[in-house]
Amino acid sequence: MRGCLQATAGFVAALFVLTAVTALIGYNLIVVATDRETVKGLFTGLDEVVRQTAPALIIEAARQEALARGITDLPIDESQLQTAVATVIPPGWMDAQAEAAVDGLYDYLETGDPANAEVTLDTRPLLDSLRGAAGQQMVTAVVANLPPCTTAAPNFTTVGNVDIPDCLPPGTNVQQISGMVHTAVVNAIDQNPEILANAGVVRIPLIGNDGPTGLSSAQQAQWARVQRNFALARTWGWTLWLAPLACLFLLVLLVVRSLPTWGHWWGWPMVIAAVTVLFFAIITPALLLFLARTAVPPPTDPLTLPLHQLGLNLVTAVADRWLVRIYFQAGIMLALGVGLILMAFGVTAVRERGY
């Protein structure tokens, strides 16, 4: 009978290690993923990413247009474009919009209320900047870096009631064209019915009817599944700890008959579980970095480099916040396990000496 109890207890101890490792890893991942403030903190510095990416997009478009006209060496004032982009984007505006988007997403995920299923973006600071001197500087920088016209006549893109050329004919007055373009851009902004109706606040629905302003039925169903899984994890994630606690209780019933047996049967499984998790946590950063670089090799296109780096930064930030919790909780479990083992040896030694 005693041997059977010992064998059963060994199985329960192994089950504790498995469930405790799962709880430490899974529960903390749930806590990080379901905390909106943590997720908002991941997007800090988005302004800088946009400032790096936007000039590169403009430069690439100008070079492609130049190549189409047989111009292989197009002089582009990159510093002028970078300054113009940095000036036209209000400081902190992109970060604020990212936070607003996260708030809108989590309002829906946390409540499941379709009325909260929208992301609200405040474009007013950006629109005010485009209307003013910063917008004029931005338009001038773009127009000044258009390729010169060769033999082919320029093509025109209509903005408002102004035709904008895709190249600069000889003798073109850059300031005059940029002034006309800026006026057309301002008029287009001020006459946009959606901007007028919402005073510059753009609302993007996460759930809506089929059509250009909503999502398809399949997309709505997918969002509904995501919300249910989110609510389930957020509400019941703590239950991951019930299995290891139940294992400890079973060990008490099966084999614990004294302080030393209690210390050994609880202490060693705790130490093994904690050391396993700590080892996993130590190798996780290098493993994640390897997987990220293997799954998504570094891009050769300079336009996507900032976005690639942003993705790596997001993965690293999530891992860092998760690892802080892992180290803390696994450290507590390790200390508790070691304490129980030392207590068991100490009580045994005292009893053997007859104290």
Higher pLDDT, 89 or 26: 26
Give the whole-number percent of the chain exceeding pLDDT 90: 25
Return d(Cα 152, Cα 242) in angstroms, integer: 75
Classify residue 152 by burial, with Cβ atoms within 10 Å: 0-12, 13-18, 19+: exposed
pLDDT value at residue 66: 60
Listed range (25-29, 85-89, 122-126) with the worst mean pLDDT: 85-89
- The least confident of 26-35, 76-85, 160-169 is 160-169
The lowest-confidence range among 71-80, 223-232, 298-307, 332-341 is 298-307
Can you tell me the mean pLDDT for 135-140?
84
Q: Is the pLDDT at 71 greater than 60, yes or no? A: no
Phi, psi of 120 (to 5 degrees): -110, 125
Bigger pLDDT: 213 vs 320: 320
Task: Answer whether 144's CB lies under 8 Å from 76's CB.
Answer: no
pLDDT at 42: 77
How far apart are alpha carbons 242 and 330 in whole angstroms? 17
Q: Quick one: average pLDDT of 266-278? A: 95
pLDDT per position as a tens digit, 273-304: 999 999 999 888 778 777 766 766 665 555 56
- Say whether pTM exceeds 0.95: no
Average pLDDT over residues 230-247: 93
**pLDDT band at residue 272 under the 50/70/90 scheme:** very high
Q: Residue 53: its pLDDT value, please?
A: 74
- pLDDT score at 266: 94
**Residue 329 clears pLDDT 90, i.e. is over it:** yes
Confidence of residue 21 (pLDDT cuts 50, 70, 90): very high
* Bridge partner list, 157: 164
Asked whether the beta carbons of 152 and 134 are under 8 A apart, the reply is no
